[in-house]
Amino acid sequence: MDTILTVFKASEHCRVSPKTIINWIEAGHIKAYKTVGGHRRIKKEDLEIFMKKQGIPIPSEEQDQGRKRILVVDDDPIIVGTIVEALEEDEHDYEVIAASNGFEAGLKVKEFKPHLMILDIMMPGIKGDEVCKKIKSDSKTENIKILILSAYLDEEKFKTMGEYGADVCFSKPLQLPELKKEVSRLLALS
């Protein structure tokens, strides 16, 4: 599985400023791509190839052990970008990636193996409730914590999502400090 780094994480890995990483990307020295939210992402392997060429020491793998992985699943790129950015900047040093629909979420669960999924219900194609049900009914993925965040929640939906295995449900919009607090609480349980 490829490890994907944010500009901030890449800068920590190289021990340079995020602006330096951006300059290297723009100059074509490091391969990168942009997320739906417009954020740059770099494969760790590509970064380390560049680091070796430049004689930049590569930190040991021990530093990456123990990081909690979060998958944000929502078809709204603004919401995804806001949540991903807030969690990446959190003091807990999370590894965060996103998926824009249920099908993509299923693929990313297999390769990324998240500890926590922040999941919208109303998405094109495979709906969030189906994703939740599938993850919680599979012995390989049943331990993934699922936080439902949806504009379409009422008491009945809350109850249904609980029956499907969701750990907690919130209606949008949820304030970022409250979301971060809930993420931290759920990950402490995982």
- Looking at residue 60, its pLDDT comes to 65
The amino acid present at 89, given as its one-letter code, is E
Task: State the Cα–Cα distance between residues 76 and 115, nearest whole angstrom.
Answer: 22
Domain 4-61 fold = Multidrug-efflux Transporter Regulator; Chain: A; Domain 2 (1.10.1660)
Domain locations in the chain as residue ranges: 4-61, 66-189
Taking only the tens place, the pLDDT of each residue in 114-147 is 999 999 988 888 888 899 999 999 999 999 999 9
Span 71-99, mean pLDDT?
A: 89
* 117 DSSP β-pair partners: 71, 146
The amino acid present at 129, given as its one-letter code, is D
Question: What is this structure's pTM?
Answer: 0.67
Q: CA-CA distances (angstroms) from residue 80 to 16, 54, 70, 149?
A: 27, 34, 12, 11
Q: Which CATH number fits domain 66-189: 3.40.309.10, 3.40.50.1170, 3.40.50.2300, 3.40.190.10?
A: 3.40.50.2300
